[in-house]
A and B are shown apart, each in its own frame.
Chain A
Amino acid sequence: MLADDALLFREGLARLMGEAGFEVTGQCGDAERLLILARSHRPDVAVVDIRMPPTYTSEGLDAARRLRAEHPGLGVLLLSQYVETHHAMTLVRDACAATGGAGYLLKDRVTRLSELAEAVRRVAAGECVVDPGLVSRLVSRPRSSTVLEELTGRESQVLALMAEGRSNSAIARNMGLSHKTVEAYVRNVFDRLGLALSEDDNRRVLAVLAYLRAS
């Protein structure tokens, strides 16, 4: 299911998604239509532009919230020409649930089909997806505190992957490590940052993003 007010982009994206092996069940140009279509088509994932009619600000976020309320199992992937931590955190807080994930990606990511496809699959699987560009910007921003610099390379990597919304098993897969090792890294990182370890992945994402933003 695709919702974007730019027709050409929507069509192109539909074709691309088709090539990546997804079935596009419906397309529309605004949030209202999206809600109607979602009711009839029952998609696994809705890919939604954050900025749509009528106000062209952050309709996608509201749509994600409403979709989540109506269809608990539906994953929502928001695309935006700007990725903002504020929006990412709002989405994770409001729309990310174990039953159906939510994601927030820079629109340009569509040119990297594999990344897009992976994000759609992760959202469908109930994960939170935070744009890696946003995460890397947060991790590498200049800061006066030296806590992050003191992390080992592996630890930093784990931190970034957590911020992107990945679960421990996903991190383990991604880094080619055992689940246990990853768990140890995660505990280590949380200790170093002085954060309380949370079992809930979404809250873990929020905690990490908040830390990265504030320090």
Chain B
Amino acid sequence: MTAPARAGVLAGRTVRTRTVSGPRPAGLGGARGGAVAFLASGSFYGAAVMWGGADPDAVAVAKAGAALLATWSFFVAGFVALARRPGSMLGALMLTSGAVGTLNSLTYVNHPVAYAIGNLASPLFILLWLHIAISFPEERGRAGPARRVLLYAGYFVIVPIVTVAQVLVEPAHYGCDTCPPSGVFAAGYVVARPYQLTVIAVFTVTCALVLMALCLRWYRASPPRRHVLLPMLPATVSAFTLAAAGWVGTAVDRPEVATAVLVADFGAYAASALWPVGFLVSLARARLHRSVVADLALSLDAPLRPAQVQQALADALRDPTLRLLLRPPDHERFVDVTGRPAGLPTAAEQHAVTLLEGGAGHVVALVHDPALDEDPRLIRAAATTVLMAIENERLNAKVMAQLAEVQGSRSRIVEAMDAGRRRIERDLHDGAQQRLVNLALMLRLARSRLEDGHRARPVVDEAVSEAEAAIEELRELARGIHPAILTDAGLGPALESLAERARLPVKVLALPGRRLPPTVESAVYFVASEAIANAAKHARANEVTVAVDEEGGLLRLVVSDDGIGGADPHGPGLRGLSDRIAAAGGRLSVTSSLSHGTRITGEIPLTWG
């Protein structure tokens, strides 16, 4: 059965949920029907008691009161369950139990017809109770074959047989001397004792089976499930044990055990009156609080793999069978958390599915226990949390990808700039510089052909000096653009050369012993070069030290001076250096003070080993 699709807007996105689940029992039509049944049966019972008059025996009156208390306790529990979970099967069963229990209490009305009706209801009441006890807290759909066999046998075999026995057997024949005679059918012709024993045996065995089933469930239950089952357990166990003990005592039918039977009977009534209370407490525990969504959101705060998200969801919703399926945008099929294609369950699989669609086309499907449908808003909130986590992850990945793209393009721009500088330097070297050298050489040749004292000789000499000056200037210009030694011999020799040419003393303390990637060499060289120039220009330093060392895959450049400090890390100069280092994937830090001078540290990871 497919419920109509619900549509809503959640966090600005269209959310669709669809629920696929197995057939639902009809129930009693919710709390309203339950209330009507309660009032009707209460009035009916009151009227019956007034009409027939209660049995004057004090014990019987007390039993009647206890039975009534127990049945009303079932009613109350049924109401609460139905109010909390509209359409709840367990709530419906509770209410039905209350109603049937009320009918059962008619055995205390001192009238043959009332007694017969009460007797008729008794086996059904016990079966309903048993049904609830072994089903709780699952609403439906999860009963195993053993449980199902037990229930079918109860409803279709035990109830009819026992009902017939109750009706046909005169109460006096199975030990109830104070019971009124069954006035409905002619009585007294059935062999009572064996029948009574059979019925008692059947009930006792059933009780034993129920207790075994409960023990087995407890043994198999996960800790959260035990947490839910616990409050129901004492009342269930004591009620069924005491009831069975009472029946056994009745079957023995000896004066010595009469008191024990009475105690067991009252104990059973008390336990049955308390049992719905345990049921309600268990129900409250089974209910998933909204706070689980908050806990879930917290647990999804850190980036998680889908399998971890699924686990977090399963824990939060206390459904170990929960599966998280994802359908990425532009995909037709769902995949499970391991990335394998997975289909949504069919109705026959008796799993519920909650579907949520994110803004970017992601679809999340939660395949879960139909019991969780008790609170569709909760599961939708949980699914939305997951979806938000996935969206968040996706946006995060997108931002990271964009960042990587920006970093990549920044590196490429800087690389292109470096390549451009190298090319200009080479063009100057092979072009203008070479031509000027040729020119100087030709002038020198020309001069040598002029005899001593020729008028042109001083002019040519001057031209040679001019050419030499031009060569010198051009050489310094080209060096500033890109020093050839950096390409030829690497960072170490280039920094030594830089130190030799500096306008203030530069001590080179450490240098890398090997060639490094060109981007790293260029970045470190230019940062060192700028830092030395700044120290000479602004810091009034007496000495600058330069150290480049490699440690743990990290190349570190430290340029420090003994100047007056005052370097502004956010000024355009140092910003430029910082950008230069960042383009190579590293970072720059600056400390600058009057007492300790300026210290510029650049660190670049050498990821290529």
Interface set of A (CB-CB < 8 Å, partner B): 6, 8-9, 12-13, 15-16, 19, 51, 56-58, 81-82, 84-87, 107-108, 110-111, 113, 137-138, 141-144, 213-214
Given contacts A82-B479, A85-B496, contact A12 B438 (CB under 8 A): yes
- Of the listed stretches B50-58, B172-180, B498-506, chain A binds B498-506
Tell me the dominant secondary structure on chain B's binding face: helix
Contact call B448/A86, Cβ cutoff below 8 A: no
Contact call A143/B505, Cβ cutoff below 8 A: yes
Partner of A110, one of B441, B484, B485, B543: B441
User: Which residues of A have CB within 8 Å of B445?
Assistant: 12, 15-16, 19
Contact call B484/A144, Cβ cutoff below 8 A: no
Contact call A213/B434, Cβ cutoff below 8 A: no
Contact call B505/A58, Cβ cutoff below 8 A: no
Contact call B504/A111, Cβ cutoff below 8 A: no
- Of the listed stretches B267-275, B279-287, B288-296, B486-494, chain A binds B486-494
User: Which residues of B have CB within 8 Å of A51?
Assistant: 429, 484
How far, in whole Å, are A87 and B468 apart by their CA atoms in the complex? Answer: 22
Contact call B444/A137, Cβ cutoff below 8 A: no
User: Which residues of B have CB within 8 Å of A16?
Assistant: 441, 444-445, 448
Contact call B542/A84, Cβ cutoff below 8 A: no
Instruction: List 3 tightest A-B contacts by C-beta distance, closest first.
Output: A86-B493, A12-B441, A57-B488
Please name 7 further chain A to chain B contacts, defined as beta carbons within 8 Å, in addition to the given A113-B444, A141-B505, A142-B503, sorted by A numbering: A56-B430, A57-B488, A85-B493, A87-B485, A108-B471, A144-B505, A213-B500
The A/B interface has a contact count, at CB < 8 Å, of 98
Contact call A85/B500, Cβ cutoff below 8 A: yes
User: Which residues of A have CB within 8 Å of B468?
Assistant: 108, 111
How far, in whole Å, are A214 and B500 apart by their CA atoms in the complex? Answer: 9
Q: Which of B139-189 contact A (CB under 8 A)?
A: none
Residue of A at shortest CB range from B503?
Answer: A142
Given contacts A51-B484, A81-B433, A141-B501, contact A110 B475 (CB under 8 A): no
User: Which residues of B have CB within 8 Å of A108?
Assistant: 437, 440, 468, 471-472
Residue of A at shortest CB range from B508?
Answer: A214
Contact call B505/A142, Cβ cutoff below 8 A: yes
Contact of B497 with A by CB under 8 A:
yes
**Chain B residue total in the interface (Cβ 8 A):** 41
User: Which residues of B have CB within 8 Å of A8?
Assistant: 438
Contact of B442 with A by CB under 8 A:
yes
How far, in whole Å, are A153 and B429 apart by their CA atoms in the complex? Answer: 37
Contact call B437/A110, Cβ cutoff below 8 A: yes
User: Which residues of A have CB within 8 Å of B500?
Assistant: 85, 137-138, 141, 213
Q: Which of B442, B479, B503, B542 is most buried by chain A, counting CB atoms within 10 A of its CB?
A: B442
The distance from the CB of A214 to the nearest CB of chain B, in whole angstroms, is: 8
Contact call A111/B505, Cβ cutoff below 8 A: no
Contact of B64 with A by CB under 8 A:
no
Interface set of B (CB-CB < 8 Å, partner A): 426, 429-430, 433-434, 437-438, 440-445, 448, 464, 467-468, 471-472, 475, 479, 483-485, 487-489, 492-493, 496-497, 500-505, 507-508, 542-543
How far, in whole Å, are A141 and B544 apart by their CA atoms in the complex? Answer: 14
Given contacts A142-B502, A142-B504, contact A111 B485 (CB under 8 A): no
Contact call B442/A12, Cβ cutoff below 8 A: yes
Partner of A86, one of B443, B464, B497, B504: B497
User: Which residues of A have CB within 8 Å of B504?
Assistant: 142
How far, in whole Å, are A2 and B434 apart by their CA atoms in the complex? Answer: 16
Contact call A84/B497, Cβ cutoff below 8 A: yes
User: Which residues of A have CB within 8 Å of B433?
Assistant: 81
Given contacts A56-B426, A84-B497, A86-B497, contact A9 B437 (CB under 8 A): yes
How far, in whole Å, are A155 and B441 apart by their CA atoms in the complex? Answer: 35
How far, in whole Å, are A111 and B471 apart by their CA atoms in the complex? Answer: 12
Q: Which of B426, B441, B464 is most buried by chain A, counting CB atoms within 10 A of its CB?
A: B441
Q: Which of B434, B508, B543 is most buried by chain A, counting CB atoms within 10 A of its CB?
A: B434
User: Which residues of A have CB within 8 Å of B508?
Assistant: 214
The distance from the CB of A134 to the nearest CB of chain B, in whole angstroms, is: 9
Contact call A84/B438, Cβ cutoff below 8 A: no
- What are 12 inter-chain pairs, A to B, with CB distance below 8 A? A12-B445, A56-B430, A57-B488, A81-B437, A82-B483, A86-B492, A86-B493, A87-B493, A108-B437, A110-B441, A141-B505, A144-B505
How far, in whole Å, are A111 and B464 apart by their CA atoms in the complex? Answer: 8
The distance from the CB of A81 to the nearest CB of chain B, in whole angstroms, is: 6
How far, in whole Å, are A2 and B88 apart by their CA atoms in the complex? Answer: 104
The distance from the CB of A137 to the nearest CB of chain B, in whole angstroms, is: 6
User: Which residues of A have CB within 8 Å of B502?
Assistant: 141-142
Contact call A111/B493, Cβ cutoff below 8 A: no
Residue of B at shortest CB range from A141?
Answer: B500
Residue of A at shortest CB range from B472?
Answer: A108
User: Which residues of A have CB within 8 Å of B429?
Assistant: 51, 56, 81
The distance from the CB of A91 to the nearest CB of chain B, in whole angstroms, is: 12
Partner of B475, one of A58, A82, A85, A111: A82
Contact call A58/B503, Cβ cutoff below 8 A: no
Residue of B at shortest CB range from A82?
Answer: B484
User: Which residues of B have CB within 8 Å of A113?
Assistant: 444, 448
User: Which residues of B have CB within 8 Å of A13?
Assistant: 441
Residue of A at shortest CB range from B485?
Answer: A84
Contact call B497/A85, Cβ cutoff below 8 A: yes
User: Which residues of B have CB within 8 Å of A57?
Assistant: 484, 487-488
The distance from the CB of B365 to the nearest CB of chain A, in whole angstroms, is: 61
The distance from the CB of A109 to the nearest CB of chain B, in whole angstroms, is: 10
Contact call B484/A86, Cβ cutoff below 8 A: no
Q: Which of A8, A13, A81, A85 is most buried by chain B, counting CB atoms within 10 A of its CB?
A: A81
The distance from the CB of B37 to the nearest CB of chain A, in whole angstroms, is: 99
How far, in whole Å, are A183 and B544 apart by their CA atoms in the complex? Answer: 36
User: Which residues of A have CB within 8 Å of B475?
Assistant: 81-82
